[in-house]
Amino acid sequence: MTKKHKLVNEIGNGGETHQTTDESAGALTTNQGIRVSDNQNQLKSGDRGPVLLEDFVLREKIFHFDHERIPERIVHARGTAAHGFFELYESLSDITKADLFQRAGEKTPLFTRFSTVAGGAGSVDTPRDVRGFAVKFYTKEGNWDLVGNNIPVFFIQDAIKFPDLIHAAKMEADRGYPQAATAHDTFWDFISLMPEATHMIMWAMSDRTLPRTLRTMEGFGIHTFRLVNAEGKSTFVKFHWKPKQGLASSLWDEAVKVAGADPDFQRRDLFEAIERGDYPEWELGIQAFDQAFADSLPYDVLDPTKIIPEGVLPVRLIGRMVLDRYPDNFFAETEQVAFCPANIVPGVDFSNDPLLQGRLFSYLDTQKSRLGTANFHQIPINAPKCPVMNFQRDGQMQMLQPKGRANYEPNSLADNGENGGPRECPASGFTTFPSAEGHNEQGDKLRIRPASFADHYSQARMFFRSIDPAEQAHLASALVFELSKVAVEAIRLRMLGNLVNVDQELAQRVADGLAMTLPKANPAAVEVQDFDLSPALRIVKGDREPATLKGRTVGILIADGSEPSAVDTLLEQIKAEGGVAKIIAPKVGGAKMKGGAILKADGQLAGTPSVMVDAIAVVLSDVGCDMLLKDSAAVQFVMDAFGHLKAIGHTAEAKPLLDKAGVQADEGVVSLDAFVAAAAQRYWDREPKVRTLA
């Protein structure tokens, strides 16, 4: 097939195509294949006369346009996605028969979508919010969807509370705001009445909900699942995604400013990383355990508001995910992809986690209303990459043309020499693990929460006490910020009463930040315990916060008169460290460097504030510095980099600008020679000097 023929085929439905003549190759057609002679002017009676109803080219085009949107996801509406693969490190055949986990080195194609939860599809990338982390593995034995988040616990224990949680979190029912923000009365009203949410609230108010990029966050399956091996033995499992890029979060002030400077900051970052061949990678880890281990824990592994700390059960890394290809078309792939936790393959099974069980119903159901037809599994991004054969036929938008008389089973038509269709496979087909159900052997029908789910505070306390003091201050300040936006005082008080159960000092800091008197603790269902602290929970100064320039962006601020050799040296050094350099100048066309040559800019100063990069080098001459002293964008550029604890490298001539921006000397403020080494980290010790935190 020639390239021209192929183009027509791709636009068409992929079925049989007539020979394409040279004239028609590449031609614009209607959806009926009629070549369009004029795509600029609609059909009129006379040049100034009325438009004619018979203009089918116009009507078809507008008709299609009118229906180009589908209902957005009720949660996780805003997202971005990429293709890639999973590569297994070593066979897991001892614990699972899942085909993708059998052969070391084998690669399985996948599609991963990251999302925020609360905002609509047109909201920004960087609100304080949980991030969705959904992976569709196209295995040889069907699709397996691991639909997780970047936080390992959830707000609620039973699925029946989910609509209430989401109603409370999203914009308020009467006023239609705020969008993509939990800092409002209805959210905190609900949360303060749901002590089971307290552990999740610790994570949600921590830096975890401000991931710097999608590439620098963890992912979690949250629920306990099962792996089942060929002998039918079940092992409980929790799934983790660990970013090879390390963990990094934004500061709140930074995230707020990023939202204005670039609402698409995180999707652009992912796109650009893939474009430059810096493919993001995560390792898949498992915590595998048996019933005896589960029984030995002081919390219930079926309770999705609990983690198993890594110190209690280490994470075993079993493979890696590499995202190496951006979708061709956002709508066709990212928008139409349908993830569903019920999509599992032989060798993986569910646990009785009541939240998971509710999710098993919800996703298929929502996708019917979002994608409009029961045949959405045939859309290329959703279609398994293995044979699909059954008697589920017909329905709106059936894309296949099944052959034969039999559309039911059992049938005996094959005995008659006809096509009898597919048959069930007792040996290799999916079988559910035959677990004995629950503690209640009688299996009475009860609307009840088990006593083993009753401890709502001990792990919240463990989380707060495990993170770095800088992160604790961010968390306390986030609570003050959010509760300050709550107008109803009783809600704030009730929330403070919950926080006392977590940690007296935290509660006091928040109360002080609100200028309120700390109330007594709210009644707790069971006594709060002091678990061992878990250093794996921290980002700041933790093992997973690397000092690196790899994959990070450095802004080099230049103006007329800047020294070109200084810029060249920086560019080389940054590249050698795996970083990305962005030249920023007052005008995008560039600056006239010392010697007269023009250096083009990657970003205009006013449109590229320093919140968009991870460190800055200010390479200015006396003349350039004088000029920029009169430009508030330049002053703000430096002031924010300092306030956001970033490294600042500078020429001696740039010092007046640093002074005007209030930069004080510390180990992150260096000459250009020392800059690239300094740029690999944030300067946490600077924070108390630049910000008053709770």
Active site residues: 76, 149
The CA distance from 667 to 529, in Å, is 40
**Nearest approach, Cβ of residue 209 and ligand HDE (Å):** 14
Stretch that binds ligand HDE, among 87-95, 243-251, 321-329, 355-363 (CB under 6 A): 355-363
DSSP secondary structure of 106-142: -EEEEEEEEEESSS-TTS-S-SS--EEEEEEEEETTE
Under the binding rule (CB under 6 A), the answer on residue 201 touching ligand HDE is: no
Which residue from 8, 92, 124, 159 is in contact with ligand HDE, where contact means CB under 6 A? 159
**Could you tell me the sign of the dihedral formed by the alpha carbons of 81, 125, 644, 485, in that order?**
negative
Stretch that binds ligand HDE, among 332-340, 371-379, 383-391, 394-402 (CB under 6 A): 332-340
Residue closest to ligand HDE (Cβ): 132
Under the binding rule (CB under 6 A), the answer on residue 362 touching ligand HDE is: yes
The CA distance from 410 to 362, in Å, is 30
Please give the residues from 44 up to 83 whose contact with ligand HDE meets the rule CB under 6 A: 73-76, 79
Comparison of 460 and 470: residue with beta carbon closer to ligand HDE: 460
**Nearest approach, Cβ of residue 380 and ligand HDE (Å):** 16
Q: How far is CA 167 from CA 115, 176, 188, 357, in A?
A: 18, 11, 12, 21
Comparison of 338 and 645: residue with beta carbon closer to ligand HDE: 338
Comparison of 150 and 192: residue with beta carbon closer to ligand HDE: 150
**Nearest approach, Cβ of residue 486 and ligand HDE (Å):** 24
Tokens of 566: 């200084």
Which residue from 198, 224, 250, 367 is in contact with ligand HDE, where contact means CB under 6 A? 367
Q: How far is CA 470 from CA 530, 543, 670, 682, 693, in A?
A: 21, 15, 23, 12, 9
Under the binding rule (CB under 6 A), the answer on residue 332 touching ligand HDE is: no
Q: Name the region of 565 (left: φ>0; alpha: ψ -120 to 50; beta: rest).
A: alpha
Q: Which of 260, 218, 255, 257 is nearest to 132 (CA)?
A: 218
Comparison of 72 and 87: residue with beta carbon closer to ligand HDE: 72
**Nearest approach, Cβ of residue 239 and ligand HDE (Å):** 10
Q: Which of 145, 81, 61 is nearest to 350 (CA)?
A: 145
The answer to whether 116 and 76 have CB atoms below 8 angstroms apart is: yes
The CA distance from 559 to 590, in Å, is 8
Under the binding rule (CB under 6 A), the answer on residue 148 touching ligand HDE is: yes
Which residue from 97, 238, 267, 359 is in contact with ligand HDE, where contact means CB under 6 A? 359
Under the binding rule (CB under 6 A), the answer on residue 363 touching ligand HDE is: yes
The count of residues interacting with ligand HDE (CB under 6 A) is 26
87 bridge partner residues: 107, 320
Under the binding rule (CB under 6 A), the answer on residue 147 touching ligand HDE is: yes
The answer to whether 615 and 557 have CB atoms below 8 angstroms apart is: no
Helix (H/G/I), strand (E/B), else coil: 220 = strand
Q: Tell me which amino acid residue 30 is.
A: T
Under the binding rule (CB under 6 A), the answer on residue 111 touching ligand HDE is: no
CB-count exposure of residue 29 (10 Å: 0-12, 13-18, 19+): middle
Comparison of 269 and 560: residue with beta carbon closer to ligand HDE: 269
**Nearest approach, Cβ of residue 430 and ligand HDE (Å):** 21
**Nearest approach, Cβ of residue 304 and ligand HDE (Å):** 6
DSSP secondary structure of 9-38: HHHTTSS--PPPPTTTTT--B-TT-PBPS-
Stretch that binds ligand HDE, among 335-343, 453-461, 512-520, 537-545 (CB under 6 A): 335-343
**Nearest approach, Cβ of residue 393 and ligand HDE (Å):** 24
> Within the chain, how many helices (H) and strands (E) appear?
19, 18
**Nearest approach, Cβ of residue 340 and ligand HDE (Å):** 7
Comparison of 155 and 642: residue with beta carbon closer to ligand HDE: 155
**Nearest approach, Cβ of residue 70 and ligand HDE (Å):** 11
Comparison of 208 and 474: residue with beta carbon closer to ligand HDE: 208
Give the position of tokens 């109330």: 519
Q: Which of 658, 548, 562 is nearest to 619 (CA)?
A: 562
Under the binding rule (CB under 6 A), the answer on residue 219 touching ligand HDE is: no
Under the binding rule (CB under 6 A), the answer on residue 208 touching ligand HDE is: no
- The 3-class secondary structure across 371-432, one letter per residue, is HCCCCHHHCCCCCCCCCCCCCCCCCCCCCCCCCCCCCCCCCCHHHHCCCCCCCCCCCCCCCC
Stretch that binds ligand HDE, among 9-17, 56-64, 154-162, 407-415 (CB under 6 A): 154-162
Interface ranges with ligand HDE (CB under 6 A): 73-76, 79, 113, 115, 132, 134, 147-149, 154, 159, 162, 222, 337-339, 355, 358-359, 362-363, 366-367
